[in-house]
Structure 1
């Protein structure tokens, strides 16, 4: 798994769901700066946050991590 590609997929899905970074941040209980760092490949979410992102965006964790869906 490449953190940079994770960030790109996260940004793509977030935008497709018409969510701002701030809205996503509020839902997963992190700062907007943290979401920006995820999307730019500078940080990676905890397991808890990754699950929350997956649930909120209605996307498989596998897709976010590896680009594939079950």
Structure 2
């Protein structure tokens, strides 16, 4: 699945519905920043958000995943639907892993910063005592 195609499709549907990013975000209980990231192709929504998003934008989940409106002529087979679903799950897993790694880096940074501050504090304390 293509994040950029998905994002531009979301933007088109949102504008067709006459919604701002903030209004769409409020309807599905997210932030307008999340909607903006989707529309710019920077991230993909969690799989649990696809159904509420599809309902709000009045399209099927399959159309969202494919990034285009489906006409009777363009209906996809079960195998194609399965492939699309698997690719969306893979993207969701990748997004979760990126967030997990980012969180670990932030935690490690703050632990090292704390250790540095404690070390400096102990050195200052020892200097003042001597």
TM-score normalised per structure 1: 0.91
Partner of 2:7: 7
Q: Which residue of 2 aligns with 1:47?
A: 47
**CA displacement at 1:53 relative to structure 2:** 0.6
State the number of aligned residues.
70
Alignment RMSD: 1.2
Distance 1:64 1:50 in 2: 8
Which ranges of 4 or more aligned residues in structure 1 deviate by more than 3 Å? none
Corresponding position of 2:34 = 34
Q: What residue ranges of structure 1 are gaps of 5+ in the alignment? A: none
What is the TM-score with the length of structure 2 in the denominator? 0.51
- Corresponding residue for 2:65? 65
Any idea what SS the aligned residue of 2:49 has?
Answer: helix
Unmatched 5+ residue regions in structure 2?
Answer: 76-130
Larger Rg: 2
Give the Cα–Cα distance (whole angstroms) in 2 for the partners of residues 31 and 39 of structure 1. 13
How far does residue 48 in structure 1 lie from its aligned partner after superposition?
A: 1.9
